[in-house]
Structure 1
Amino acid sequence: MWPGWRHDSVLHILRLSISRTYKMCIPRLLKASYYRFVVLFFNCLLTFGSYFCFDIPSVLQEQFQGNLTCPNGTQHNGTGHNGTLDCVEGLGMTPAQYNLLYAIYAWTNALVVVVAGFLIDKLGNRFGVFVFSLLTVLGSSIFALGSHFKGTPYLLPMMLTGRLLFGSGNGSLTIVQNRITAFWFKGKELALAFGLTLSFSRLGSVLNFFFTQQFESHFGIQWTLWGGTLLCALGFISAITVSMLDKVGMKQLGLDGVIQQESKKVRVQDVRRLPLRYWLLVLTIMFFYNGVFPFVADASKFIQDKYSGYSQQAAAYIAGAVYDSSLVLSAAVGILIDYVGLRGVFAVGCAVLTLPVFALLAFTFVPPLVSTIWLGITYSFAAASMWPSIPLVVPQATLGTAMGLATSVQMIGIGLSNLIVGHILGTKSSELKIPLWRWQQMMIFMLANTIVCIVTSVSLNVVDRKQGGTLNRTTKRSPVEHEDRQPADAAPLLSDEPGNDGSVN
């Protein structure tokens, strides 16, 4: 130490250095376009683990519906061919009870997300990501704990309670995720950003379909469910990180106080101001997803029952191809839609092109991989065109409420569909092989939903055309025109144009 230097002087200089570095680097980082992609990365991780957990029952349907005990020498672990003819040791659920696991998730979402969306609008994104990511961890923990009570009256109530809490968190967490994405990317690469969040979420689903069955065969169903809980904890860590990034970014841009003031103005009565285009868009989303999610929930079992020569693991891979396709395509589809617009046209096209998928599954023996890949492609375009359209037709101040209502209606439809599918497939026993005619009736039900989706999407385009054609206009080619047509309280856009200093457009 040099003579005359005091220890506290050194600390003071160090603090000044850190402070100056912070003040110089953070605003510079915010001015750069890639700051919002840093936010996006951690935002994407919010739902990675929860999407993994969501479809674990789909992969392990045989184990969920399997017998409590098997005679010695007859147990089947799902790795051989024609496994549905052998005894599978599991939790002993009936098809109706199994589908209830998905239905309770959907119904919970339907009830909770509306209130959650309003609370997010009032209290902010940081409140939402913390509370709802914590709920996914608690819900998945109770769900995993319930599996230890097989053969007792506590099994189903505990697992339903777990799915209830998990659904309360995951559906609401998706709203916060979409709200953060819309704030940082509205007027920019909006469809790309939504596509990337979907890709990360579906990466969790894809890894579930690839590895869960193998993990279960080595470690059992209980440890498999606890592994999913651990991934949900990763989402909780990401929630804390994205909260910090969002807070720093908004504070440096001088928007934190502005957003809080706008949030105070949000009222429940604002729901009445949501336009007709919004409600048609919500119905289009609901009827499209009514065909996708209930099918994926039962696809692994369907493939084993209808097509010969598929093991449980192979069937899970084929069912997971729906998510594989969306994982690969979502980002590219988002870029395409950002460039060409035509969101309403894509919505119609997705519904029309989904019709042959369920027709092939119902009436032919075309290899199921063809249908699942096909469905994954249409699902990718639907997700990248429908959900990013919501911020374009509602004010930013009420976006959380609008997203909550959309998710609620979607989950009401999916919940009803799961109950109907459970009734179609049988409700009285955990029979290992479901008759083919029941599966055919299920596919006809999916076809009916898709036809209604076509009707609502066509109506959406007609109304949108009369009101300026917002949905079919690109944000890439005409940003000035796009912003001029936004509601007065729409989201501020982060600018990375020269001379704007990272301020609001």
Structure 2
Amino acid sequence: MDLNTSSFMQLYAWYSWPNVVLCFLGGFLLDRLLFLFKVIFAAGALFNAFWLMILGRFVFGIGGESLAVAQNTYAVNWFKGKGLNLVFGLQLSMARLGSTVNMNVMGLVYENIRGLRDGTGYTTLGITLMIAAATCVFSLICALVLGYLDRRAERILKKEVCSTGEVIKLTDVKDFPLSLWLIFIICVGYYVAIFPFIGLGQVFFIEKFNFSPVQASAINSIVYIISAPASPLLGFLVDKTGKNIIWVLMAVIITLASHMMLAFTFWNPWIAMCLLGVSYSLLACALWPMVAFVVPEHQLGTAYGFMQSIQNLGLALIAMAAGAILDSRGYLFLEVFFCACVCILFFSGGELNLSTSARARLQKDTLSHSEGRQSSVQEEDELSRLKPLSAFGLRNRYLSRLGAQLPDHCCSHLSSLAHRSLLK
């Protein structure tokens, strides 16, 4: 389509723009709408209409990440209390496996179609993307089957609709602690050095290391290939050892070393990309749970939504900046830019470095102390309500216990006994 890199990276930016808002507000769209959006994107390539491709990416971004909300709700509804962590791990691994297959297969599909049509250009690209859109048909079929099974289960098992009860409030933002804002900065600064680089990585490996397109796609996808099996293993390691900040710093250092190797050396790039895959998985396991350590439970939904919104805002801006830098300065300056983004991510903390068991003990002690204080306050409140009986009240209570019949206008069971006729 004769696009420069800046225009190409706008496709990544326009995917992120709607998620700046939607990740914070929540909601999701169904697979049948995502299929329609994918067809719009492919049609833009088929008719050489770049504006139509941007529109397709924009509307695809509206539902692309928000669909994860629906997936997570299904997972909790079906597997809560019976292997939910494993289900979430498999769901994440399958998503990264899909990205890996896409990177390594789409180039081959394009080459085969070009050979059949004996030509290149936007028409061949459009046909290739239409074939890719067919995968959304399979996703739609799976969604329809899942919907049928879920409704059947609700009818037979009397299941209730799963709901977290979390209400997003904009006013929670002003109460976020400084440590949470630092986590947001780490999230943005790290991921902008990963995803835009992977978006531009194939051409980078072709130009600098003289790889073939197939070889470049393979090495560019190694980050996702490694993260698929490594994520649950590294997550288990972080859970056992704690020290989340130490693991985050280690991931940042490894990522910085990887980018410096790619920028300033001609070493085998498989080394740097493998290290990048490990550090990417390690940071994801250590960083995202840290949000729950610094905000109260009722603000978790707002905090995570705000984190994703800021992340998508950073990805949109950096994607456009990366394309402009590459067009004007080249890959060396682009790698230096990514290194600079990574260098801003160093900070320290306190309780965030506790292990899971130590954090559980701390929460238990805090809860016990809180319950003790609450019980003490209740006892003091009850004592403050006790008042000495008057002589009239003591006399009526004594007569009542002796079995004497009291007049109706006397009230002996209250602490403030009084003769009602005297109050008239």
Q: Is TM (by shorter chain) over 0.5? A: yes
Between the aligned partners of 2:76 and 2:178, the Cα distance in structure 1 is 21
Q: Is residue 101 of structure 2 the alignment partner of residue 207 of structure 1?
A: yes
1:129-148 maps to which residues of 2 (within 5 A)? 131=29, 133-148=31-46
**Aligned residue-pair number:** 356
Give how far 1:359 is off: 0.6
C-alpha separation in 2, matches of 1:479 and 1:254: 31
C-alpha offsets along residues 240-262 of structure 1, whole Å, 9 cap, x if unaligned?
5666777858x9698748x47x3
Cα 1:342/1:200, change in 2 over 3 Å: farther
Which residue is equivalent to 2:244? 343
Q: Find the counterpart in structure 2 of residue 313 from structure 1.
A: 214
Change (3 A) 1:377 1:266: closer
- Correspondence list, 1:165-314, <5 A: 165-177=59-71, 194-219=88-113, 220-239=124-143, 256=161, 259=163, 262-263=165-166, 266-308=168-210, 310-314=211-215
SS in 1 for 2:330: helix
Partners of 2:252 and 2:149 in 1: CA distance: 38
Partner Cα separation in structure 2 for residue 181 and residue 273 of structure 1 = 31
**Match of residue 159 from structure 1:** 53
1:80 corresponds to: none
Counterpart residue identity of residue 375, structure 1: L
- Residue 400 of structure 1, CA deviation: 4.0
Whole-angstrom distance in 1 between the partners of 2:141 and 2:353: 35
Let me know the Cα RMSD of the aligned residues.
3.3
Distance 2:80 2:254 in 1: 29
Deviations 1:267-299 (A, max 9, x none): 332333444333222221111101000110000
Q: Is the 8 A contact 2:10 2:319 kept in 1?
A: yes
Gaps in structure 1 of 5+ consecutive residues: 1-90, 121-127, 428-436, 487-505
Hey, what's the Cα distance between the residues in 1 that align with 2:41 and 2:236?
Answer: 38
User: Which stretch of the first structure deviates more once superposed, 195-204 or 388-397?
Assistant: 388-397
Q: Among 332, 340, 345, which residue is 1:440 paired with?
A: 332
Q: What is the deviation of 1:195?
A: 4.0
* Equivalent residue letter for 2:256: L
Deviation at 1:170, TM superposition (A): 1.4
User: Are 1:411 and 2:305 counterparts?
Assistant: no
Q: Distance in 1 between matches of 2:104 and 2:250?
A: 30
Q: How does 1:343-382 map to 2 (within 5 A)?
A: 343-382=244-283
TM-score computed with the length of structure 1 as normaliser: 0.63
Distance 1:147 1:186, change over 3 A: same
Residue-by-residue CA offset, 1:64-102 (whole Å, 9 max, x unaligned): xxxxxxxxxxxxxxxxxxxxxxxxxxx221211111111
Shift of 1:162: 0.5
State how far apart, in whole Å, the 2-side matches of 1:293 and 1:399 are: 25
Residue 204 of structure 1 aligns to a residue whose secondary structure is helix
Q: How does 1:72-151 map onto structure 2 within 5 Å?
A: 91-115=1-25, 117=26, 120=27, 128=28, 131=29, 133-150=31-48
- 1:218 maps to a residue whose letter is N
CA shift, 1:362, in A, is: 0.9
> Cα deviation per residue 1:18-59 (whole Å; 9 max; x = unaligned)?
xxxxxxxxxxxxxxxxxxxxxxxxxxxxxxxxxxxxxxxxxx
Q: Output the CA distance in 2 between the equivalents of 1:479 and 1:237.
A: 43
Structure 2 CA distance, aligned partners of 1:97 and 1:358?
Answer: 24
Q: 1:332 to 1:237 in 2, by over 3 A?
A: farther
| Greater displacement, 213-222 / 181-190 | 181-190
Aligned with 1:334 (options 217, 227, 235): 235
- Structure with greater contact order relative to length (CA < 8 Å, sep ≥ 6): 1
Contact 1:193 1:334 in 2 (8 A): no
Could you tell me which runs of 5 or more consecutive residues in structure 2 were left unpaired when the two chains were aligned. Answer: 114-123, 368-424
Aligned-partner Cα distance in 2 for 1:298–1:352: 22
CA distance in 1, matches of 2:297, 2:158: 17
Structure of larger gyration radius: 2
For 2:255 and 2:195, the matched residues in 1 are separated by 13
**Contact 2:46 2:127 (C-alpha < 8 Å) held by counterparts:** no
Partner amino acid, structure 1, of 2:338: M
Q: Would the alpha carbon gap of residues 173 and 342 (structure 1) be closer, same or farther in structure 2, given more than 3 Å must change?
A: farther
- Deviations along 1:362-405, whole A, 9 cap, x unmatched? 11101111111111110011122222433454455554433321
Give the 3 Å change call, closer, same or farther, for CA 266–324 of structure 1 in structure 2.
Answer: closer
Task: Report what 1:452 is aligned to.
Answer: 344
Q: Distance in 2 between matches of 1:185 and 1:164?
A: 33
- 3-state DSSP class of the match of 1:452? coil
